[in-house]
Amino acid sequence: MISNLPNLISLLRLVLAPIMLHIDYKYLPLFFFSLALTDALDGFLARRWHVETKVGKVLDPLADKVFLLTAFYLCSFELKRLNPFVFLSLLARDFFIIFGALVLWLRFKSVPSPSPIGKMTTLALSLSVLLCILYESNTFNLFLSEVCLLFVFLSWIDYGFRGIKALKNQTSF
């Protein structure tokens, strides 16, 4: 059971993330924060218990992408607090990452690990969404939109360079 618990937590985040679009706004901060904690928890448990699996290496980032895209859709189009360009940029970046990971998987039969910039981006984006949900300030949310765009583009560039380097060197990550 322990070896599957981190995967189960990732799967739970994947399944519960779309519920954010239907939850009462007064419960949204707690619900979002709980899901964000599962992102930290599944990785921590997998490393701590030395039960990292191939399924987990795909399931966790997939759950992260669904979680963050759902949250940014909510903040951009439902709450109308973030610039929709942030959501569209994140969506484009995630397609780029998924396509690149698929190319590398087909070539090297390995799943790329998240980069430190990618992990910082996930943390920054999660914190930004939480602040966006909690505070309804046009000036503050404009600032959050700009910070999110900065992180999205930095991580996009980072993953692009890492993928090109892996293909040039004919090695996996």
The domains of the chain, with CATH numbers, are 2-169 (1.20.120)
pLDDT at 62: 94
What does DSSP assign to residue 82?
S
pLDDT at 172: 52
pLDDT at 3: 60
Nearest Cα neighbor of 49 from 89, 3, 95 is 3
Span 4-35, pLDDT tens digits:
899 999 999 999 999 999 999 999 999 999 99
Residues in the chain: 173
Q: What tokens were used for 13?
A: 């985040």
Span 88-145, pLDDT tens digits:
999 999 999 999 989 988 998 887 788 999 999 999 999 999 999 999 999 999 999 9
pLDDT at 2: 56
Q: What tokens were used for 70?
A: 């759902």
CA distance 6 to 60: 9
Taking 90 as the threshold, does the pLDDT of residue 85 lie above it?
A: yes
Task: Report the share of the chain in percent with pLDDT over 70.
Answer: 97
pLDDT at 113: 81
pTM of the prediction? 0.92
